[in-house]
């Protein structure tokens, strides 16, 4: 059996496991009689679980239809957090004293295992993340001596706390492909060329970096924004004026990450931490990062102007 087939099988298994976790969340919500939007929330998690488990085998039209239904449920505010099984403060304090700094070991193992699998095998990055997650769970159970059922309970709690933002990374990745195929970059290029004079290197660099940040704010994904903005702004207004493509491209991508720091669309960076930390404002992470993001964007403009030409 080839490594590609093994990688595909493993990736499918991890998708199914993710879908099972979502179905479990749907079950927990469905039995919560006091949940304010029990039907809508149950439907959302059940549909998302079905997409993860059977998306490979379902017609594209059916998958798209299910995603639209999930979007409608979210827009109508029918997806909310229900009653969560929370450990007592006494239990938390006792476990904190008992485990101490060892609680960080699974997080380190998660990163190290993902790196090792991705770098030294041909399984691919997605499979590496799945394998490292399983390894980290095993070490977590060993360190905490927690029963296996707590993996499901805590998984449900995190799933509900994050909410509909769980689906954003997948949707945003698809959105980048749609924008590129639709020729959005060309439209942007035509629009900018009508107001920006050609031959101005500094202005081209400024527009390129700021466009990357703004488009990332809109899309929540610097990789998706990169293809569109580089085609529409980078090539005609920066590369064509003699910029080093490797340096300019690298700085443009990281300029996009400045936008990542400023947008709720980057759910896995800004919304998920706020939910897990239970901050009073869901935008607390973004507000804290905003000054640094703006400063970094200015630095990117200076670096691209100085280093790429």
Going from N- to C-terminal start, the domains of the chain cover 11-75, 89-146, 167-307
Distance CA 208, CA 225 (A): 11
For residue 94 the two structure tokens come to: 């006792």
For residue 302 the two structure tokens come to: 């200076």
Task: Give the residue ranges of the chain where pLDDT is below 50.
Answer: none
Distance CA 47, CA 174 (A): 18
Distance CA 27, CA 82 (A): 12
Distance CA 205, CA 53 (A): 44
Residue 145 has what pLDDT? 83
Residue 292 has what pLDDT? 95
For residue 69 the two structure tokens come to: 């239904």
Distance CA 175, CA 192 (A): 22
Distance CA 35, CA 79 (A): 10
Residue 159 has what pLDDT? 86
For residue 192 the two structure tokens come to: 């900018």
> By C-alpha distance, which of 240, 242, 253 is closest to 296?
253
Distance CA 97, CA 291 (A): 37
DSSP reduced 3-state for 86: coil
Residue 156 has what pLDDT? 86
Residue 218 has what pLDDT? 84
H-state helical runs in 121-244: 125-144, 149-162, 168-181, 184-193, 201-219, 222-229, 235-237
Distance CA 280, CA 306 (A): 42
Whole-number Cα distances in Å, 303 to 207, 248, 309: 14, 9, 10
- Tally the residues of the chain: 309
Residue 189 has what pLDDT? 73
H-state helical runs in 100-148: 105-120, 125-144
CA 78, 169, 251: angle at the middle one, nearest 5? 140
Q: How far is CA 77 from the centre of its chain?
A: 21
Residue 123 has what pLDDT? 80
Residue 44 has what pLDDT? 93
Distance CA 27, CA 29 (A): 5
- Number of helices (H), then strands (E), belonging to the chain: the values are 15, 0
Please identify which residue in the block is written with the tokens 């945003």.
Answer: 172
Residue 4 has what pLDDT? 81
Distance CA 109, CA 42 (A): 33
Residue 86 has what pLDDT? 73
Q: Give per-residue pLDDT as tens, 174-212.
A: 777 777 777 777 777 777 777 777 778 899 899 999 999
Q: H or E segment at 73?
A: helix 60-75
Backbone φ, ψ for residue 87 (5° rounding): -70, 155
DSSP reduced 3-state for 262: coil
Residue 250 has what pLDDT? 93
CA dihedral 4, 5, 10, 15 (to 10 degrees): 100
DSSP reduced 3-state for 225: helix
Residue 205 has what pLDDT? 92
Distance CA 48, CA 167 (A): 8
């Amino acid at each position: 059996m080839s490594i590609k087939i093994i990688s595909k099988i493993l990736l499918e298994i991890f998708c199914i496991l993710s879908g099972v976790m979502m179905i479990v969340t749907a079950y927990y919500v469905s039995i919560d009689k006091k949940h304010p939007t029990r039907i809508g929330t149950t439907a959302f998690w059940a549909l998302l679980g079905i997409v993860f488990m059977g998306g490979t085998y379902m017609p594209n039209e059916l998958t798209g239809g299910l995603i639209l239904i999930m979007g409608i449920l979210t827009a109508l505010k029918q997806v909310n957090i229900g009653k969560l099984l929370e450990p007592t403060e006494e239990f938390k304090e006792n476990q904190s004293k008992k485990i101490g700094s060892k609680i960080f070991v699974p997080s380190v193992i998660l990163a190290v295992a993902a790196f090792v699998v991705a770098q030294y095998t041909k399984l691919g990055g997605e499979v590496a993340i799945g394998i490292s997650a399983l390894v980290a769970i095993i070490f977590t159970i060993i360190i905490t001596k927690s029963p296996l059922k707590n993996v499901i309970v805590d998984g449900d709690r995190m799933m509900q706390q994050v909410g509909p933002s769980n689906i954003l990374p997948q949707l945003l990745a698809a959105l980048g492909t749609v924008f590129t195929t639709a020729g959005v970059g060309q439209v942007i290029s035509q629009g900018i060329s009508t107001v920006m004079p050609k031959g101005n290197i500094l202005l081209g660099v400024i527009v390129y970096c700021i466009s990357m940040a703004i488009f990332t704010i809109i899309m929540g994904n610097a990789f998706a924004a990169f293809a569109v903005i580089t085609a529409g702004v980078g090539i005609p207004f920066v590369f064509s004026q003699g910029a080093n493509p490797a340096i300019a491209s690298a700085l443009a991508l990281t300029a996009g990450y400045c936008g990542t720091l400023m947008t709720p669309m980057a759910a896995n960076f800004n919304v998920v931490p706020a939910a897990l930390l239970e901050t009073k404002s869901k935008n607390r992470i973004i507000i804290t990062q905003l000054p640094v993001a703006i400063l970094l964007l200015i630095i990117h403009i200076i670096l691209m102007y100085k280093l790429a030409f």
